[in-house]
Amino acid sequence: SQKIEQNSEALNIQEGKTATLTCNYTNYSPAYLQWYRQDPGRGPVFLLLIRENEKEKRKERLKVTFDTTLKQSLFHITASQPADSATYLCALSNSGNTPLVFGKGTRLSVIA
């Protein structure tokens, strides 16, 4: 069956360090993969989209990689700040018309 796994439920890091979150999937052939941020009691906020033919995408302090051979995406936040503390969700879609399927998320805490 199809599965999306995010490496850990919670991750604590020191302010200024780089946070690395992992998303692994099985039995999918995603056309693209997206990362979202979700704060408690709020809807997810779109961060980055990376397509199957792209290796890496960057946006300010964020970087996403996508390895379709390993079936894995890595999400990096450099120079992390306490304001980056949130739950980060990985989501996949097989095509432009199908809805996103989400992983359980990783709760990141950046400690000052």
Partner 1 sequence: GAVVSQHPSRVICKSGTSVKIECRSLDFQATTMFWYRQFPKQSLMLMATSNEGSKATYEQGVEKDKFLINHASLTLSTLTVTSAHPEDSSFYICSARDSFLAGRKDTQYFGPGTRLTVL
C-alpha separations of 19 from 8, 35, 53, 107 in Å? 12, 14, 24, 11
Binders of partner 1 among 50-89, rule CB under 8 A? 89
Phi first, then psi, for residue 84 (nearest 5°) are -80, -10
Stretch that binds partner 1, among 20-28, 33-41, 53-61, 69-77 (CB under 8 A): 33-41
Name the token pair of 17: 């360090």
CB of 8 to partner 1, least distance (A): 14
**30 is a site residue for partner 1 (CB under 8 A):** no
Residues sharing a CB contact under 8 Å with residue 42, sequence separation 6 or more, in sequence order: none
Q: Give the total of residues touching partner 1 (CB under 8 A).
A: 23
- Report the candidate in 109, 95, 99, 111 with the shortest Cα–Cα distance to residue 21: 109
Nearer to partner 1, 95 or 112 (CB): 95
Interface residue with partner 1 among 45, 70, 79, 111 (CB under 8 A) is 45
**25 is a site residue for partner 1 (CB under 8 A):** no
- Report the candidate in 70, 29, 77 with the shortest Cα–Cα distance to residue 51: 29
Binding stretches for partner 1 (CB under 8 A):
31-32, 34, 36, 41-46, 49, 89, 91, 93, 96-97, 99-105
